[in-house]
A and B are shown apart, each in its own frame.
Chain A
Amino acid sequence: MRKTALIITALGLLLTAAAPSQAEVTLDGFLQGLYGARLDEDNPTSTEHTASETRLQLRAEHFGDRAEFFGRLDFVWDGSDTVEYDWELREGYLKFRLGKYFDFKVGRQILTWGTGDLIFINDVFAKDYRSFFIGRDDQYLKAPQNAIRAEFYHDIGSLSLVWTPRFEANRLPTGRRLSYFNPMAGDIVGTGLGDEFYFDPPLPEPKFENGEIATRFQRTVGNFNAAVYFYKGFYKNPMAMDIASMTAFYPILNVYGASMRGAAMGGILWLEGGYFDSREDKDGDNPFIPNSSLTGMVGFERQVAANLTVNGQWQFDYMTDYDIYKAQQPEGVFVRDEVKHLFTSRVTKRLNMETVTLSGFVFYSPSDEDAYIRLSAEYKYTDEITLMAGGNIFDGNYANTDLGRFAINDNAYVKITYGF
């Protein structure tokens, strides 16, 4: 699969480069070193560092009269785990326009929609928390999908349709460099305890009907951008358990949702909601498959002083058939509330002609009694060289909550990037 992708990219590059057009291929990218240290000593993982890697990203772009090609290829020398060279095609797509109303993007691509700041409801595209938790650049939170995106633009609004033939799961901590909660063990585990704790659940069978479909219709309503969404696929996290084989799996999911975002009260206000329809447990009576839930959020961002931007979000998550769920939970474990609350806030301060950026992001759930704090300081030494230091701090009173499960993965990192 990877080889095919590389060959396609190489061919695409060659072809587009060879095409007689006035535009040429532009190449750029960056070289980056990232080093992360653990702040918790008792983590049951098998690596010493959370990150010790050198990364080269190459970007190639070519556009002609009818289509444009874009490729983003990462080469990584990873010294954190077992020392190895690796590469990943982050993006490799063709973009073209059909007639007056249709835009297509075909190939490996990063996809984002919805209104939240690091809270995703209707954005059911793949995330990479392995990267997000250890200090890689923000762009790595989004994992690529091999997909076709068709967009229809009209005066009444725009309709987007994304078809991902092979389900793309979230990239979650595997136990090697970040530990996680294992319900079987009833505790936080990692590969330091044994290779059997390497977390790599099987994906849904690669069948046509197991592809993912995500759609959005959006239009402008006054000052606001309003959208409705529909998703058909699977939970992006392996939230279900097959009791026969004792393995986690990705249960079938539909999401129906809506959002609004626009300028209000001197800032930007957003609202988003969604119904997570757990198709394999419609009555909520299967304790090994998540119940359906209704979730919503409201957020507001404003520039409060020169170069200082602050935002805040509140999200609730209401679980259906909660009584059945609660009765099924084993003794002695923390049981979530019927309505869960999550608050987040981001503060960004820019200094010294925007060469210094200080940023803090806090997730806090009073219902789950857990929190996650992201801090970073970035200095653009020159246009090419950027220095960064940051930390990821988790806290939780219980091992099985959304953030508490990562509680002993605290880390601090430094990063140097040379852009070209």
Chain B
Amino acid sequence: MKKVSQYLVLVLMSVMTVSATAAGQDADEIMKKSHLAYYYAGDDGQAEVTMTLIDKKGKERGREFSMLRLDLEEGGNQKYYTYFKKPSDVSRLTFMVHKSSGGNDQRWIYVPAVDLVKPISADDKNSSFVGSDFSYEDVSGRHWSEDNHTFVKEGELDGKAVFVIESVPKEKYKGFSRKVSYIDKTTLLPVKEEYFDKKDELIRVFTAEKIEEIDGIPTVTIRSMENIKKGTRTVVDFAQITYNVGIQDNIFTERYLKTPPRNFIK
């Protein structure tokens, strides 16, 4: 009898392990699909972006820029091109990123007032993007394979059916020690993300404020990031979005950094 119960326990344990693995794979699969839906929509994309930075006293600052993106491989390397329009002191400044999903990204800036092309040290992906609450990594994406994902539950958020998934970095990471994502079941876009620090205190909250269908692709057109600790918030509005416009690889070079591609950037 004892042997049978031991055997039963063993069987139960292995079944549990199997189901746990299955759920783990599901979580991985969901996060992968979500990453692709959010960061790799279409083969390329173009948008006019307005950023509003709100400090803890409610004072607002604005950034306006055009953005181009090209996917070299789905879920892999990408290239980004940014042309600043406002504020006045950074107008016509261009910025380029070669995102390497395996290694370190490469970044360049061009300052037209002094005709200066300069590579920027891209060591810290967590540093702020143009002073906003979004980091460079928030803009170009942290690869899903860098975290272990666990399926928490299915739920509902703002009337949308969501998967709730918890992610923990595989290696010690400065950006967060735990992240809870609420992934829309139908679009697979992140509706909300909560970032926790090593004391497990909530530090930042991402919210997809508005999701629209653009060229048949569900797209987050208004997003926000709130820094709970600093009391600051950034709202980003993507307008005039187009996908699959035929952006060529050669645009992401010094030549176009110095002379913006006017067929895409007005």
Q: Which of these, A97, A151, A268, contacts B121 with CB under 8 Å?
A: A268
Q: Which residues of B contact A112 (CB under 8 A)?
A: 114-116
Known: A263-B106, A353-B128. A153 touches B232 (CB 8 A): no
Nearest chain-B residue to A72 (Cβ)? B113
Q: Which of B82-90, B138-146, B147-155 contacts A (4 or more CB under 8 A)?
A: B82-90
Q: Which residues of A contact B254 (CB under 8 A)?
A: 158
Interface hub of A23, A30, A97, A110 (most chain B Cβ within 10 A) = A110
Nearest chain-B residue to A419 (Cβ)? B88
B57-114 contacts to A (CB < 8 Å): 61-62, 86-89, 91-92, 104, 106, 113-114
Q: Which residues of A contact B106 (CB under 8 A)?
A: 223, 263
- B86 close to A383 (CB less than 8 A): yes
- A303 close to B121 (CB less than 8 A): yes
Task: Determine the main DSSP class of B at the interface with A.
Answer: loop
Instruction: Kindly state whether residue B259 has any CB partner on chain A within 8 Å.
Output: yes
Nearest chain-A residue to B126 (Cβ)? A306
A65, B266: Cα distance in complex, Å = 11
- A419 close to B130 (CB less than 8 A): no
A262, B262: Cα distance in complex, Å = 28
A309, B91: Cα distance in complex, Å = 23
Q: Which of these, B55, B87, B113, B232, contacts A419 with CB under 8 Å?
A: B87
Q: Which of these, A63, A141, A261, contacts B262 with CB under 8 Å?
A: A63
Q: Which residues of A contact B266 (CB under 8 A)?
A: 23
A26, chain B: closest CB distance, angstroms: 9
A266-301 contacts to B (CB < 8 Å): 266-268, 301
Size of interface on A: residues with Cβ below 8 Å to B: 51
Instruction: Kindly state whether residue B53 has any CB partner on chain A within 8 Å.
Output: yes
Size of interface on B: residues with Cβ below 8 Å to A: 35
A379, B103: Cα distance in complex, Å = 35
A309, B109: Cα distance in complex, Å = 15
Known: A28-B88, A354-B128, A354-B130. A110 touches B115 (CB 8 A): yes
A28, B86: Cα distance in complex, Å = 10
Nearest chain-B residue to A153 (Cβ)? B255
Q: Write the A99-121 contact mask toward B (1 if CB under 8 angstroms, else 0).
A: 00001000001111000000000
- A353 close to B259 (CB less than 8 A): no
Q: Write the A4-48 contact mask toward B (1 if CB under 8 angstroms, else 0).
A: 000000000000000000010000111000000000000000000
- A383 close to B62 (CB less than 8 A): yes
Q: Which residues of B contact A237 (CB under 8 A)?
A: none
A256, chain B: closest CB distance, angstroms: 22
- A110 close to B114 (CB less than 8 A): yes
B138, chain A: closest CB distance, angstroms: 15
Instruction: Kindly state whether residue A369 has any CB partner on chain B within 8 Å.
Output: no
- A158 close to B255 (CB less than 8 A): yes
- B119 close to A261 (CB less than 8 A): yes
Q: Which residues of A contact B87 (CB under 8 A)?
A: 383-384, 419
Q: Which residues of B contact A141 (CB under 8 A)?
A: 114
B225, chain A: closest CB distance, angstroms: 12
Q: Which of these, A29, A111, A266, A353, contacts B232 with CB under 8 Å?
A: A353
- B89 close to A419 (CB less than 8 A): yes
- A263 close to B127 (CB less than 8 A): no
Q: Which of these, B86, B91, B121, B259, contacts A302 with CB under 8 Å?
A: B121
- B121 close to A354 (CB less than 8 A): no
Instruction: Kindly state whether residue A95 has any CB partner on chain B within 8 Å.
Output: yes
Q: Which residues of A contact B157 (CB under 8 A)?
A: none
Q: Which of these, A103, A350, A383, contacts B255 with CB under 8 Å?
A: A103
- A307 close to B89 (CB less than 8 A): no
Known: A29-B88, A302-B121, A384-B87. A354 touches B131 (CB 8 A): yes
A420, B86: Cα distance in complex, Å = 9
A124, B266: Cα distance in complex, Å = 33
Nearest chain-B residue to A382 (Cβ)? B61
Offer 11 A-B interface pairs, CB within 8 angstroms, sorted by A: A29-B88, A30-B89, A95-B259, A139-B114, A142-B115, A151-B255, A302-B121, A302-B123, A303-B123, A307-B128, A383-B87
B residues touching A (Cβ–Cβ < 8 Å)? 53, 55, 61-62, 86-89, 91-92, 104, 106, 113-116, 119-124, 126-128, 130-132, 232, 253-255, 259, 262, 266
What 13 additional pairs, Cβ within 8 angstroms, besides A112-B115, A353-B132? A30-B88, A97-B259, A142-B114, A142-B115, A261-B119, A262-B119, A263-B106, A354-B128, A383-B62, A384-B87, A386-B89, A419-B87, A419-B88
